[in-house]
């Protein structure tokens, strides 16, 4: 099999971006054009004059990947070159859920035939682990640090898949780096579906979350097993498939693996906070029927 | 009337400036148009939308984006795939594009965009001045300024010719004064499809996004490489100086119309006083010159068509024998109290032997009407400078003291 994303990039050992990109391209195939907004992925894969990309790739700005993808799709149509060429945007949670949200909304509303993949590592890792709207409740980041009067990020994650589904997208799915086949298959399905489709990948960041570089997959799997990260597919706004998790693991097992949550185990009142996070998982389990 | 003039008269139609521009875009055969509506640019994009609705632009997609930021961002993708691209905007829309403007130029994408010049908020004001495009001076776009409807339309074809030249590969703004040109009806000759095809060959990109030959666009350039990207952009701008001239000359050969290349001159040969300006104000100045010439005042106009690249050499040559140079700017650098054309004209003379006095007037802000009597007053002040030197180097024109 031809490698579409090759080694030699500057990603950390155990980098979630590198894994997610590899799986994305395995699902999309070589007849694709990739757009990346600004972020770790762009910085680490294209230090001029080198590139890790064996597919055509473009980076423009932080907040405009979906607009650039719109333009690529429109140009391919106008020039009679669309055929089966897939247009794929791959962006981080900040580029997707915060600064790029308007451009994404526009592109999905207009119905361009493209797939947007969000690699959600739950903070601005490229700039040094600052909080984004993908940062989970009580995670300590450099701009939502735990402190004497704080347990870290005071807000839950923004529900991005629901926002995209509300645009009438024919296919929206969540996936996780803990389940490579799940991701490859979902990207394949998304890129084969005509219209604007969306994949939201939960992607543990060794540097930002604070775990050993060998544990990326394990941490990702634990998020799914606790119910904190439900895996599902939505077609035309309806949930059509959910990955069952059996007997859920307690969220404590997931939180203990990462230093961004360590204050919950050392600070007075941490137990109540962990209970609140357990409540988030319980709600997911009930809502999605995990 | 000569037979050629008669033929041209027969070809003329009375249309709105925005329609003439939209029509010019159509015959340039764009592949992707992406725009967001904003006064006074709207009639251009409405015209293009109607052409699309009537199936009159083949092999073209029109993207109704959700912001100016996305309007230009979409064209980054389109142009990188190899499409000929067009957008139009003004004022707040252009300022919103600021970050993308640098990106387009840095990636050497030859996008053409009409800027319908309008004042910038606050206070909000939809009328004409040129603060919007002047504020984007350093973004690496070629900037051309049109005097009248015909020139604004013809400049579209010229802009593609210049921008897509392999020795240039830079984006180009065609600037036209809001309302004064965009909403005025005048007799013009609509660009003929056949002649435009002869003038403007299809766009053949050097590099493009293509799965058959994967390339990386928009890579990270560290301190070892960044400087050379900027240097090459500057070289491309220098190449554009020649191409702007040749694009005007070739246009004349095919269409028979000429408005100058980098600059145009009106009654400058023997002029003691040379006025300099950009855009529609040139028409008012020419009429004023005609009147004053009848009274023996030796005054002429240097019309700047290309503000970027800056035509320093052409300006120096034209004003070499003038006794005073008066620069009119529809913009201001706040804190410097000068308009951009004035500052740069002075700058291009500094290390030369020409010590001609140069003065600046900031005029027509937020659409304030510029009358011939105002131009006459400015010229009479220039006559005083010839006698007794500069008293005020740069000033506002027509300030209503009673409001202050």
Which of A78, A87, A90 to mutate to test binding with chain B, by most B CBs within 10 Å of its CB? A78
B31–chain A Cβ distance below 8 A for any pair: yes
B47-56 pLDDT per residue, tens: 999 999 999 9
How far is the alpha carbon of A188 from chain B, nearest alpha carbon, in Å? 17
Max Cα–Cα distance, chain B, nearest Å:
70
| Predicted pLDDT of residue B325 | 98
How far is the alpha carbon of B218 from chain A, nearest alpha carbon, in Å? 5
**Contact of B141 with B111, CB cutoff 8 Å:** no
Residues 6+ apart with CB under 8 A from B106: B140, B229, B233
Which of B75, B80, B81, B230 to mutate to test binding with chain A, by most A CBs within 10 Å of its CB? B81
Q: What is the ipTM of this complex?
A: 0.97
| Predicted pLDDT of residue A245 | 97
| Predicted pLDDT of residue B5 | 78
Cα gap A281→B204, rounded to integer Å: 55
| Predicted pLDDT of residue B4 | 75
- As a whole number, mean pLDDT of residues B256-270 equals 97
- As a whole number, mean pLDDT of residues B303-328 equals 98
| Predicted pLDDT of residue B370 | 97
Rg (CA), chain A: 18
Nearest to A61 among B61, B66, B103 (CB): B103
B324-370 pLDDT per residue, tens: 999 999 999 999 999 999 999 999 999 999 999 999 999 999 999 99
| Predicted pLDDT of residue A259 | 98
- For residue A271, the surrounding DSSP H or E stretch is helix A270-288
List chain B residues with CB under 8 Å of A58.
Answer: 76-77, 80, 209, 216-218
Q: Which residues pair with B395 in a beta bridge?
A: B361
- As a whole number, mean pLDDT of residues B98-108 equals 98
Neighbouring CB atoms inside 10 A of B25's CB total: 30
Residue B237 phi, psi dihedral angles, 5° rounding: -60, -40
Cα gap A52→A3, rounded to integer Å: 10
Residue B93 tokens read as 């829309």
List chain A residues with CB under 8 Å of B99.
Answer: 61
| Predicted pLDDT of residue B8 | 81
Pairing mode, strands A115-120 and A86-92:
parallel
| Predicted pLDDT of residue A114 | 98
Give the chain A residue whose CA is nearest to the CA of B70: A67
A102-155 pLDDT per residue, tens: 999 999 999 999 999 999 999 999 999 999 999 999 999 999 999 999 999 999
| Predicted pLDDT of residue B7 | 77
Nearest to A48 among B31, B76, B221 (CB): B221
Task: Give the end-to-end CA distance of chain B in Å, rounded to a whole number.
Answer: 53
Quick check: B266 pLDDT over 80? Answer: yes
A202-228 pLDDT per residue, tens: 999 999 999 999 999 999 999 999 999
Q: What percent of chain A has pLDDT over 90?
A: 98
Task: Give the end-to-end CA distance of chain A in Å, rounded to a whole number.
Answer: 35
| Predicted pLDDT of residue A1 | 66
Quick check: B1 pLDDT over 70? Answer: no
**Contact of B383 with B389, CB cutoff 8 Å:** no
Cα gap A268→B66, rounded to integer Å: 48
How far is the alpha carbon of A122 from chain B, nearest alpha carbon, in Å? 24
The answer to whether the Cβ–Cβ distance between A56 and B103 falls below 8 Å is no
Give the chain A residue whose CA is nearest to the CA of B58: A78
Residue B2 pLDDT grade (very low, low, confident, very high; cuts 50, 70, 90): confident
DSSP string over A189-232 = HHHHSSS-EEEEEE---IIIII--TT-HHHHHHHHHHHTSS--E
- As a whole number, mean pLDDT of residues A251-260 equals 98
A173-208 pLDDT per residue, tens: 999 999 999 999 999 999 999 999 999 999 999 999
How far is the alpha carbon of A59 from chain B, nearest alpha carbon, in Å? 5
Residue B397 pLDDT grade (very low, low, confident, very high; cuts 50, 70, 90): very high
A39-54 pLDDT per residue, tens: 999 999 999 999 999 9
Angle at A253 between CA A250 and CA A258, to 5 degrees: 140
Q: Which of A82, A36, A77 is nearest to A55 (CA)?
A: A36
- Specify the 3-state DSSP secondary structure of B264: strand
Q: Is B122 exposed, middle or buried (0-12, 13-18, 19+ CB in 10 A)?
A: exposed
DSSP strands (E only) in B18-120: 32-35, 61-64, 85-89, 112-117
| Predicted pLDDT of residue B3 | 76
The answer to whether the Cβ–Cβ distance between B222 and A47 falls below 8 Å is yes
- For residue A99, the surrounding DSSP H or E stretch is none
Give the chain B residue whose CA is nearest to the CA of A84: B211
Mean pLDDT score of chain B = 97
**Contact of A65 with A35, CB cutoff 8 Å:** yes
Nearest to A56 among B64, B69, B210 (CB): B210
């Amino acid at each position: 099999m031809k490698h579409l994303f090759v080694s030699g990039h500057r990603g950390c050992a155990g980098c979630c971006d590198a894994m997610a990109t590899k799986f994305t391209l395995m699902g999309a195939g070589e007849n694709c054009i990739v757009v990346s907004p600004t972020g770790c992925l762009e910085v680490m894969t294209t230090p001029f004059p080198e590139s890790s990309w064996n597919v055509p790739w473009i980076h423009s700005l932080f907040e405009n990947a979906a607009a650039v993808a719109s333009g690529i799709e429109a140009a391919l149509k106008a020039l009679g070159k669309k055929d089966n060429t897939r247009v794929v945007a791959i962006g981080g949670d900040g580029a997707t859920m915060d600064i790029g949200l308007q451009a994404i909304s526009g592109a999905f509303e207009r119905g361009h035939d493209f797939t947007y993949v969000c690699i959600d590592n739950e903070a601005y890792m490229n700039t040094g682990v600052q909080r984004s709207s993908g940062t989970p409740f009580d995670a300590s980041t450099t701009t939502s640090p735990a402190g004497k009067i704080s347990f870290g990020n005071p807000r839950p994650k923004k529900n991005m898949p629901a926002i995209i589904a509300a645009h009438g997208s024919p296919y929206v799915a969540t996936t996780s780096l803990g389940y490579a086949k799940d991701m490859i298959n979902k990207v394949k399905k998304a890129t084969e579906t005509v219209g604007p489709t969306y994949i939201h990948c939960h992607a543990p960041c060794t540097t930002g979350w604070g775990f050993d570089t060998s544990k990326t997959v394990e941490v990702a799997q634990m998020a799914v097993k606790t119910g904190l990260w439900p895996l599902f597919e939505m077609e035309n706004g309806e949930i059509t498939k959910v990955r069952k998790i059996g007997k859920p693991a307690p969220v404590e097992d997931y939180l203990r693996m990462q230093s961004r949550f360590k204050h919950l185990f050392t600070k007075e009142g941490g137990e109540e906070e962990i209970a609140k996070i357990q409540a988030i998982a319980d709600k997911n389990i009930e809502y999605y029927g995990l | 009337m000569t037979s050629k003039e008669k033929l041209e008269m027969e070809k003329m139609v009375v249309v709105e400036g925005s329609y003439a521009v939209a029509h010019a875009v159509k015959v340039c055969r764009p592949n992707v148009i992406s725009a967001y509506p904003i006064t006074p640019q709207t009639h251009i994009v409405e015209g293009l939308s109607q052409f699309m609705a009537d199936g009159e632009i083949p092999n073209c997609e029109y993207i109704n984006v959700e912001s100016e930021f996305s309007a230009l961002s979409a064209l980054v993708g389109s142009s990188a795939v190899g499409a000929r691209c067009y957008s139009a905007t003004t004022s707040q829309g252009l300022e919103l594009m600021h970050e993308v403007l640098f990106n387009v130029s840095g990636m050497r994408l030859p996008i053409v965009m009409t800027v319908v010049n309008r004042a910038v908020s606050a206070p909000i004001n939809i009328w004409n001045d040129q603060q919007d495009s002047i504020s984007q001076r350093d973004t690496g776009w070629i900037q051309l300024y049109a005097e009248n409807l015909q020139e604004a339309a013809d400049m579209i074809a010229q802009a593609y010719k210049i921008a897509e030249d392999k020795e240039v590969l830079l984006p180009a703004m065609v600037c036209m004064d809001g309302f004064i040109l965009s909403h005025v009806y005048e007799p013009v000759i609509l660009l003929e499809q056949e002649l435009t095809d002869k003038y403007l060959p299809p766009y053949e990109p050097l590099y493009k996004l293509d799965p058959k030959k994967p390339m990386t666009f928009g890579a990270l350039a560290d301190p070892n490489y960044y400087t050379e990207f900027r240097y090459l952009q500057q070289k491309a701008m220098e190449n554009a100086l020649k191409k702007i001239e040749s694009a005007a000359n070739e246009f004349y050969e095919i269409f028979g119309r000429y408005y100058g290349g980098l600059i145009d001159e009106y009654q400058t040969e023997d002029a003691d006083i040379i006025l300099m300006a950009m855009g529609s104000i040139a028409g008012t100045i020419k009429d004023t010159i005609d009147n004053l010439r009848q009274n023996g005042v030796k005054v002429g106009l240097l019309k700047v068509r290309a503000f970027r690249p800056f035509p320093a050499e052409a300006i120096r040559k034209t004003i070499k024998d003038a006794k005073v140079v008066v620069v009119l700017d529809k913009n201001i650098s706040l804190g410097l109290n000068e308009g951009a054309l004035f500052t740069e004209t002075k700058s291009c003379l500094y290390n030369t032997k020409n010590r001609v006095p140069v003065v600046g007037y900031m005029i027509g802000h937020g659409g304030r009407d510029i009358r011939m009597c105002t131009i006459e007053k400015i010229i009479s002040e220039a006559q005083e400078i010839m006698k007794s030197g500069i008293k005020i180097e740069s000033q506002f024109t027509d300030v209503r003291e009673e409001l202050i």
